[in-house]
Structure formats: C-alpha cells, structure tokens
Amino acid sequence: MDKCQPIIIGSDHAAFELKEKIKAWLLGKGYRIEDAGTHSTASVSYVEYGKKVAGEVSRGHFSRGILLCGTGLGMSMVANRFRNVRAALCSDIFSVKMSRVHNDSNILVLGGRILGDILAFELVQTWLDTGFEGGRHLERIQSIDASQGEGLIPV
C-alpha cells in the first residue's frame, strides 16, 4: 500500500492501548493515519467506532481501515454489514495474506486482548504489503458486492 494513502483506525476501550501502539508504529513508518477513536480506556460501545471506520471505507473516503476490540469479533460483525467492506478478523500471518490475496480485504480487524504488540505489527505490515491476486477471486468479490442489498447499512 502506498504510504501517501491515509489509513483510518478505530477501537473500543478494550483495544485502545494496542490501537495506540499500532498507530504510533505506523506513523513512525511514514503512513498517514486518521484516528476515529476511542481516545481512552473509558468503557465505550465498539459499535460506534466500528460504524465510523466501516462507514468511511464504505463511502470510499479511505481505501483501508483497521479496527480493534477485545476479541475482534464485534468489530468484524459491525464492519461487514456495510456495502463494499470486506473486513477480515485475523490473528495469524497466513490468514492476513489470504484475506488480501483472495478476498481483497479492506479492513483488518484485530483482537486487542488476543494479540501481543509484535505479532500485531507483523500482521498489519503483512496486510499492507500484500496485494490482491484478482482473476477468479475478483469474480467472487463482484458476486458478493452484487448480492449486497436488503438489510445492509446503506453507503
């Protein structure tokens, strides 16, 4: 991914500390970051921050986003309700690679209570460095996009 393209990042309170570490790490590598919150460890609803990040990616304001909550489960459920969002909850390198190569994931979801800093950094870097293979995988993604309709949060 081009470092000039900004990445939007958001978390709930359970993953606030890991979000801050990832944000600082990415800024140190020259990436542009938009922080959608939360901005402390005070208890908040993950839904609010999942909607912020997924909404911005869905509308095309950001090509990529990162979401974090305690396990990553809640954020992935919220994000994948938005059109044109392919959020991937990952905790290993192979899954991160496949989320990009085969699924063109545009939101990486991480569990703040699941991952250590070093692994999280490796997952994010792999996700940013891995391209989409296209071909038959593009057809599958287009099929998913074509079926998005009723029940999804509009763009």
DSSP, residue by residue, 123-151: HHHHHHHPPP--THHHHHHHHHHHH--TT
Domain spanning 7-147, CATH class:
alpha beta
The residue annotated as part of the active site, out of 13, 39, 90, 102, is 102
Helix, strand, or coil (residue 25): helix
Q: How confident is the model at residue 149 (pLDDT cuts 50, 70, 90)?
A: low
- pLDDT tens digits, one per residue of 95-113: 999 999 999 999 999 999 9
Q: What is d(CA 62, CA 34) in angstroms, rounded to the nearest whole number?
A: 9
Residue 144: pLDDT above 80? no
Instruction: Give, in order, the Cα–Cα distances in Å from 43 to each of 12, 140, 145.
Output: 8, 38, 34
Higher pLDDT, 144 or 9: 9
Q: Which two tokens stand for residue 146?
A: 């074509």
CB 11 within 8 A of CB 36: no
13 annotated active-site: no
For residue 154, give the DSSP letter.
P
Residue 118: pLDDT above 60? yes
pTM of the model: 0.93
CB 67 within 8 A of CB 11: yes
The residue annotated as part of the active site, out of 4, 13, 39, 69, is 69
Work out the burial of residue 100: count CB atoms within 10 Å of its CB; fewer than 13 is exposed, 13-18 middle, 19 or more buried. Answer: buried
69 annotated active-site: yes
In residues, how long is the chain? 155
